[in-house]
Amino acid sequence: MPQKFYHDDPEWADIEPIAQDDGPHPLAAIAYTDEYSEAMGYLRAAMAKNEFSERVLGLTEHIIGLNAAHYTVWLYRAKTLETLNADLKQEIAWLNPTALSHLKNYQIWHHRQTIIEKLGSPEGESDFISTMLEQDTKNYHVWSYRQWLVQRFGLYTEEELNWTESMIEEDVRNNSAWNHRWFLVFGVPRDGREVDEYTVQREIAYVQEAIRKAPQNQSPWNYLRGIFKQTKRSTEDLKTFALEFANVNKPDDIFSSHALDVLADIYAEEQKKDEAKKALDLLATKFDPIRANYWNYRKVLLDQPEVAA
């Protein structure tokens, strides 16, 4: 992009920029470009006057391009858009490529939320999110924003669930997608009612199928254990399922360390300390040795039932 300066721009001739005052011993001083230094001087001057104008939209866009994490420039831009009664659809059209060139930026999503809230419609957002996720399927800001959209517009729909499923199909280890699924199923406002049994059964079947495809994948195991805890159901079925992947008496046929972990917990609950110890020993010595200290700690807890509970 060509550099943009203001001192020789007749449109800004009436503005006296405010230079940055860093004093004689600045800390963490940055080698600014002349372009950025000057633009910031004009920004401070415009802010000082509380100017809300078309040219301020241009100036804030310029600053955002150079420093998207400037926290008040976004607020200033939002206030300017509001004062000018600007076309917010146009703002979204500008934000789309801007977000793509600042994937890790956080302020941009807050701004987008402000604009979409005012527009009152999620139209087009789903497509934009897909474009963002193509860059990074686990982008935290994007998933957080998607949750906001669902909450704000009540999109706890079949379509949303199907989309999430397609994300999991694409990468069964995408924990963000699994978390989104949990949010859709267990986060839907229910006025204190429990999730119905049909839905719970559907979820258990779904997650079990995913585990059978890739047993050494912690995301669905966490999801499955979460369901059992959330719905306070007997762990008998969970145990049966975990036994498909690990049997403490057949250490040469272990398909998942997470199954051993589940079994260790269930055996501890059942007061089958020897079985639990076998599972934890297998984890510590063979199947998950990077966490050996932790598995050994769990073994010690077995002999302190009041703490282990």
* Residues 282-301 close enough to bind another protein by CB under 8 A: 286-294, 297
**Which residues does 16 contact at the CB level (< 8 Å), separation at least 6?**
45
User: Cα separation of 265 and 308, whole Å?
Assistant: 10
Interface residue with another protein, options 67, 199, 201, 271 (CB under 8 A): 67
- Cα angle 298, 299, 304; round to 5: 85
**68 touching another protein, by CB under 8 A:** yes
Interface residue with another protein, options 2, 10, 23, 192 (CB under 8 A): 23
Instruction: Choose the binding region for another protein from 60-68, 92-100, 125-133, 152-160 (rule: CB under 8 A).
Output: 60-68
User: Cα separation of 74 and 21, whole Å?
Assistant: 22
Instruction: Choose the binding region for another protein from 3-11, 26-34, 85-93, 125-133 (rule: CB under 8 A).
Output: 26-34
Instruction: Choose the binding region for another protein from 5-13, 119-127, 189-197, 252-260 (rule: CB under 8 A).
Output: 252-260
**Token reading at 219:** 């995301």
CB of 127 to another protein, least distance (A): 21
b/e per residue 53-79 (b: at least 16 CB within 10 A): eebbbebbebbbebebebeebbebbbe
**139 touching another protein, by CB under 8 A:** no
Q: Shortest CA distance to 39 belongs to which of 69, 66, 14? A: 66
**164 touching another protein, by CB under 8 A:** no
Interface residue with another protein, options 230, 231, 235, 247 (CB under 8 A): 230
User: Cα separation of 23 and 282, whole Å?
Assistant: 62
DSSP 233-276: --THHHHHHHHTT--TT-TT----HHHHHHHHHHHHHTT-HHHH
Q: Output Rg (C-alpha) for the chain, integer angstroms.
A: 27
Interface residue with another protein, options 8, 14, 158, 253 (CB under 8 A): 253
Instruction: Choose the binding region for another protein from 5-13, 75-83, 153-161, 195-203 (rule: CB under 8 A).
Output: 75-83
Residue with tokens 């831009």, as numbered in its chain: 77
Active-site choice (104, 138, 213, 229): 104
Q: Shortest CA distance to 143 belongs to which of 168, 117, 118? A: 168
Length of the chain: 309
**5 touching another protein, by CB under 8 A:** no
**94 touching another protein, by CB under 8 A:** no
104 flagged as catalytic? yes
**Token reading at 148:** 């906001």
**231 touching another protein, by CB under 8 A:** no
**17 touching another protein, by CB under 8 A:** no
CB of 309 to another protein, least distance (A): 9
Instruction: Choose the binding region for another protein from 30-38, 53-61, 121-129, 232-240 (rule: CB under 8 A).
Output: 30-38
CB of 20 to another protein, least distance (A): 5
**76 touching another protein, by CB under 8 A:** yes
Interface residue with another protein, options 126, 208, 216, 235 (CB under 8 A): 216
Of 67 and 199, nearer to another protein (C-beta) is 67
Interface residue with another protein, options 8, 29, 189, 198 (CB under 8 A): 29
User: Within 13 Å, how many C-alpha atoms sit on residue 181's CB side?
Assistant: 29
> Which residues are identified as catalytic?
104
